[in-house]
Structure 1
């Protein structure tokens, strides 16, 4: 079968048919600039990424690896494996560390590129809000390191842009969507679901725009119902939406063949939904992040008076994702923060697809240039922070030089809270790199059955085998009501491990006499364990 290059002419149109920052070279440059901070680091300083690397090390562990005694790996059919599969594919060529780095960069590039591609296809002449939309790439989901979600959402945005560009080629469009939906959902259920939501909302929005002006007035309903060609409208919707059955089929297959999750509690955290409206751009500077967030909301809510508009086709996708953010549970089957991950793509769509082509040219240009300046400033701050995080990671990981390969390490890390600092330390899962560098066991792995593939074999105690057993909090968080390092050590199975690694916790008030300090860096400490009354060679067999 010969494929005509004309079918993909929209990919070769370097000018983009509209604004200069939406041309193909500008989009490529924008994606490269967004990804530039990763060039400055070996381990991406995103909270969960070291955990993904540790999981990849467990998967790649050979039969002679000490990790095999402590942890197993079982591939299961679940809608949360995009990053794991990508690291598996890349790890055979590059190694675990490089595979983790490249996986993070590729996911970020898809996220940013999908955002700009969507704006270019749907709003080529009015996409002056594209820089504002791009600011939401480095937001809560990416900074937290939700790699599977970012990868799935990036694929969904790219596929959505391609589907809109191929609307006049129904066969090509249907083939694209039928393939893209299962791939995106296998990366992450919610990230993949966004593709069906966006495509369906875009199709319904088009039909709403085809209705006569003022159709929403009750006085016109009878006339609209009598005169509108509903049969033709239904036919167009069927053509545009039937490929979305691939999402339904993927969910059915997942329900049939995926193991039942250990936890099925669904919880709505309404306070969390409200708080994250203000903190989803939380990064390094309280002032910069608050100003950016407030300016973005002002642009959305006040843009109408400046000439920014949406029609239904452009506005409904973002509105539907925002509604999904409000109604979806916060926790599903052991996965937390499910809802707040949706706010950034909703803001991307609403800001990027706000049409400024009807505004005064001077106003539209001011919106675009203000966004470019603010985006540039945030990118510089992000890049500088990556250098600081890389230096901090090197200092923290120097503890591994004092750990024997194949050891058992009980880890406690102080979890960041807003009461203490706006800037997150991003050390939450740093201990997982001990599995990469030392083939060591740590109590930091994600191991929810039916959701993750890691299978703990060594369980020193019931509540100290996997995440979140590693977390402790400062006494300044929640007025000291949360678990502190002293209360954690009081019940910890110290006698069953070789080392206790305290990351940014400070020295306990009542140190255990079985712990011998072998390394210290600031508030981080590493202790070797020698149970009282037993020789070291017997202690290692406990």
Structure 2
């Protein structure tokens, strides 16, 4: 092969093909079955309502403000009026893995000169655990951050440094608006790459001092710094809540790197992660293979950030978990042959990497089709929910963390999205997002996580035992009760709940509340939770509300 000739996986058509393949699992489902997304869709419905339905304003407060978490919220503004809310959300979510795949391959091309065969093993991480969890603004910002980092590298390679400084001022601000995390990761990646570039320049001048390289790299990244002002303005607002907590949970951090591809089948997902670690390990052991200094340092910086990040940042949970798949992806695309060497049987290695990607896509497609079937079965209940109904929902869960999440935790929000009904699964944290819950009549049944119920009380969780949740709900505040695949419960604690729909395939049922029937009289102990625990949780909840850790 001639020096200028490219392999099939190093061509532009392959990058386009890989990006399109990454969209395949999301083609079939009407609603992408990722955990938090239905909850966000409920918020989008209120956002787009523009006060057309007065009762929504009685239940929810929606107010535009400049925060670092607006990616999909802004994109649906022009798209939803044209194609509808659900198709708009689906289109945006489909773009996320495509952007991630394209960004990874583009970065590899800019740093390595050509896409290494091993880079294909990083592509399945576009469907990493954070994406499966439904962190859509975060995932969108990360896909964009990867593409912008590739652009940053390209402009440096072409010597367009002044133009880069100009264009990245607005680009960094836009990325921050999409989600703060993506902007932060872009800063880490850009600084590490700039530090290597400055070191090489100083070395050419017979001065390779790292301190000077650090200083000059910092100056080079100044065009990315303007969002710091936006961050200060955002987090110093009077209505901002949310704590930063849970540092250095080592066991959990180890779990995150093992769960990087968590979806449905434990053995398959863990084996897939093992393949990625095998590739990384092989690169360390093989004397003909090395790591790119640019991307190797970037991966190392991301590892440091991953270690230092707490579990909760500004009230947003799983902050450190979100970084794990991208840290691994950057480490994989950093692998390259040493100068003068080449990958042995590179075409075979690329074929194996591409096959690995396709197998994960096929498995993800099957998984999403099955989750979509679950959605269709449960959402049949909404045909019996009147527009504007006051609906409280209880979604079955258990006290242990099953590998296959049900993806039903925020499905009640589709009642808000499709039927303009009140649902109790919305998040309520001022400053963290644009909408908060104001339906005080619902009391402790007003917002997430009150929709989660379990067979018994789970230690360390806010979830209620199912019997307690049903018996204690404020009946005057609601018209309907929707049980979605609940654990086994006792009907004697549900007088006056009249079934209007039952699932033919699960234990799900929709009740209409007969307000003429009084609520049951039962002790806390009968309902599965000791009275002292109720009091302890009440006091703890009030303390967390006062500290801003959770919304009221």
| Residues 126 and 357, structure 1, Cα contact 8 Å, conserved in 2 | no
Residues in 2 aligned to 1:143 and 1:368: alpha-carbon distance in whole angstroms: 26
After TM superposition, give the deviation of residue 121 of structure 1 in Å. 1.3
Give the stretch that moved more between structures: 185-194 or 259-268. 259-268
**Cα distance, 1:488–1:237 mapped onto 2, change above 3 Å:** same
Q: Using structure 1 for the length normalisation, give the TM-score.
A: 0.86
CA offset digits 1:304-354 (Å, max 9, x no partner): 223331142221111111211110111022210011101111111110121
Could you say what secondary structure the match of 2:494 adopts?
Answer: coil
The question of 1:199 aligning with 2:178 is answered: no
Match of 2:542? none
User: 1:490-509 alignment to 2 at 5 Å?
Assistant: 490-509=471-490
The question of 1:431 aligning with 2:420 is answered: no
After TM superposition, give the deviation of residue 415 of structure 1 in Å. 3.6
After TM superposition, give the deviation of residue 495 of structure 1 in Å. 3.3
Could you say what secondary structure the match of 1:518 adopts?
Answer: strand
CA offset digits 1:84-132 (Å, max 9, x no partner): 1112231222221122112212233222222221112112336222221
Could you say what secondary structure the match of 2:355 adopts?
Answer: helix
Give the stretch that moved more between structures: 518-527 or 234-243. 234-243
Match of 2:256? 276
**Cα distance, 1:500–1:244 mapped onto 2, change above 3 Å:** same
Residues in 2 aligned to 1:199 and 1:319: alpha-carbon distance in whole angstroms: 13
Match of 2:243? 264
| Residues 156 and 180, structure 1, Cα contact 8 Å, conserved in 2 | no
Residues in 2 aligned to 1:231 and 1:466: alpha-carbon distance in whole angstroms: 50
Match of 2:500? 518
| Residues 308 and 354, structure 1, Cα contact 8 Å, conserved in 2 | yes
**Cα distance, 1:240–1:435 mapped onto 2, change above 3 Å:** same
Match of 1:137? 126
CA offset digits 1:499-520 (Å, max 9, x no partner): 1111111452244102111212
Residues in 1 aligned to 2:191 and 2:272: alpha-carbon distance in whole angstroms: 30
**Cα distance, 1:231–1:390 mapped onto 2, change above 3 Å:** closer
The question of 1:169 aligning with 2:160 is answered: yes
1:371 is aligned, of 338, 349, 353, to 353
Residues in 1 aligned to 2:399 and 2:352: alpha-carbon distance in whole angstroms: 31
User: 1:282-431 alignment to 2 at 5 Å?
Assistant: 282-306=262-286, 307-356=288-337, 360-362=342-344, 364-415=346-397, 419=401, 421-431=402-412
Could you say what secondary structure the match of 1:469 adopts?
Answer: coil
Residues in 1 aligned to 2:122 and 2:170: alpha-carbon distance in whole angstroms: 27
CA offset digits 1:403-425 (Å, max 9, x no partner): 11100000111246765x42221
Residues in 2 aligned to 1:333 and 1:16: alpha-carbon distance in whole angstroms: 50
Q: Using structure 2 for the length normalisation, give the TM-score.
A: 0.85
Match of 1:71? 60
Q: Can you give the 5+ residue segments of structure 1 that lack an aligned partner in the other structure? A: 1-14, 214-223, 535-542
Residues in 2 aligned to 1:384 and 1:505: alpha-carbon distance in whole angstroms: 25
Residues in 2 aligned to 1:231 and 1:491: alpha-carbon distance in whole angstroms: 63
Could you say what secondary structure the match of 1:72 adopts?
Answer: strand
| Residues 356 and 364, structure 1, Cα contact 8 Å, conserved in 2 | no
Could you say what secondary structure the match of 1:500 adopts?
Answer: strand
Could you say what secondary structure the match of 2:356 adopts?
Answer: helix
Match of 2:29? 41
Residues in 1 aligned to 2:461 and 2:222: alpha-carbon distance in whole angstroms: 54
Residues in 1 aligned to 2:410 and 2:61: alpha-carbon distance in whole angstroms: 19
**Cα distance, 1:227–1:342 mapped onto 2, change above 3 Å:** closer
Give the stretch that moved more between structures: 262-271 or 375-384. 262-271
Task: Give me the CA root mean square deviation.
Answer: 2.8
Residues in 1 aligned to 2:134 and 2:95: alpha-carbon distance in whole angstroms: 13
**Cα distance, 1:34–1:230 mapped onto 2, change above 3 Å:** closer
Could you say what secondary structure the match of 2:482 adopts?
Answer: strand
2:174 is aligned, of 178, 183, 206, to 183
Could you say what secondary structure the match of 1:355 adopts?
Answer: strand
After TM superposition, give the deviation of residue 401 of structure 1 in Å. 0.8
Give the stretch that moved more between structures: 157-166 or 68-77. 68-77
| Residues 405 and 439, structure 1, Cα contact 8 Å, conserved in 2 | yes
**Cα distance, 1:402–1:233 mapped onto 2, change above 3 Å:** closer
Q: Can you give the 5+ residue segments of structure 2 that lack an aligned partner in the other structure? A: 519-552
Could you say what secondary structure the match of 1:198 adopts?
Answer: helix
**Cα distance, 1:238–1:289 mapped onto 2, change above 3 Å:** closer
